[in-house]
Amino acid sequence: MNEYIRLIGFAAGALTTGALIPQVIKSFKTKSTGDVSLLMFCSIASGTFLWFIYGLLMHDLPLIVWNIFTFALAVAVIALKIKHK
Residue spans per domain, the chain: 3-83
Q: pLDDT tens digits, residue range 23-82?
A: 999 999 999 999 999 999 999 999 999 999 999 999 999 999 999 999 999 999 999 999
pLDDT, position 71: 97
Helix axes 38-58, 61-83, angle to 10 degrees: 160
What pTM does this model have?
0.89
Phi and psi angles of residue 79, each rounded to the nearest 5 degrees, phi first: -60, -45
CATH code for 3-83?
1.20.1280.290
How do residues 8-35 score in pLDDT, each as one tens digit?
A: 999 999 999 999 999 999 999 999 999 9
Residue by residue, DSSP assigns 3-54 as HHHHHHHHHHHHHHHHTTHHHHHHHHHH---TTS-HHHHHHHHHHHHHHHHH
Cβ neighbours, 10 Å, residue 73: 21
